[in-house]
Amino acid sequence: MQRPLIVALDVHQKEVRDRLLETFKHDSIYMKVGMELYYQEGPRIIEQLKKDGHHVFLDLKLHDIPNTVGRAMKVLSSLEVDLINVHAAGGRKMMEAALEGLEAGKPANAPRPKLIAVTQLTSTDQEMLTDELLIKEEIAHVVSTYAALAKKSGLDGVVSSALEVPLIHEVCGEDFLTVTPGIRRLSDAKGDQKRIVTPMKAKELGSWGIVVGRSITESIDPYQTYLEMKKEWEEGK
């Protein structure tokens, strides 16, 4: 698969979401379904997106005891999403249980969803890491350590800021998937994300995939903005 630009479908109003999806009806693209949308709509939103020919990243960031996560992943695997995640802070046993659950729950002859782990949220900066989470290490070291743990656990990749991608590849290899949220155009407001980059910068840093939300979904012409950002992502200009 080409390195994807993933559109974050974080739109809670159904009529607005339906209009947005209508603009992509002739394209097969990657869509991210996050907590709010999944908790609101449940499996039917996944079924709708798959029926319309889209790839799906189910972004629930599971983080619980290993048995619970494993059983949850067994259920979610039956939805046949393409990409799904956990939080690396849950530890190796939890990540291994998640992988086992995905394998056990997928339909016969269907590929296992790729499993990636969140390292640190893009809303986390060094001050928050130190003062609130009481982690004294540099954020880049924490991210690369979590990434290495995810790889040892058998996962396919991680979610991280593009700023940490070169270090992750150095530690985990170039084939280890790196999915980067916090993507904005230079003209966009940062919102609540602190470690953000442009599509071009993410490409330069080696991200495998990027996640774009409000820059597309809140633009005057979402489809045109998608095409422009996709071109920047794919061509680096």
10-residue mean pLDDT profile of the chain (237 residues): values are 88 87 92 95 96 97 98 98 98 99 95 96 89 93 96 97 94 97 76 72 96 93 95 86
> Is-catalytic flag, 61?
yes
8 A C-beta contact, residue 99 and residue 88: no
Determine the 3-state secondary structure of 67 from DSSP: helix
> Is-catalytic flag, 51?
no
The runs of H, that is alpha helices, within 24-179 are 35-41, 43-51, 66-77, 92-105, 126-131, 139-152, 165-172
The domain ranges of the chain are 5-235
8 A C-beta contact, residue 217 and residue 9: yes
**Catalytic entry in 50, 64, 93, 194:** 64
8 A C-beta contact, residue 181 and residue 202: no
Which residue positions form the known binding site for substrate?
10, 32, 59-68, 122, 184, 193, 213-214
> What pTM did the predictor assign?
0.93
> Is-catalytic flag, 64?
yes
The Cα angle at residue 226 between residues 155 and 19, in degrees rounded to 5: 100
Pairing relation of β-strands 177-180 and 114-118?
unpaired
CATH H-level superfamily of 5-235? Aldolase class I (3.20.20.70)
Helices and strands (H, E) in the chain, number of each type? 11, 8
Give Cβ neighbours of residue 111 (< 8 Å, ≥ 6 apart).
Answer: none
Nearest residue to 37 via CA among 66, 63, 7: 7
pLDDT at 193: 53
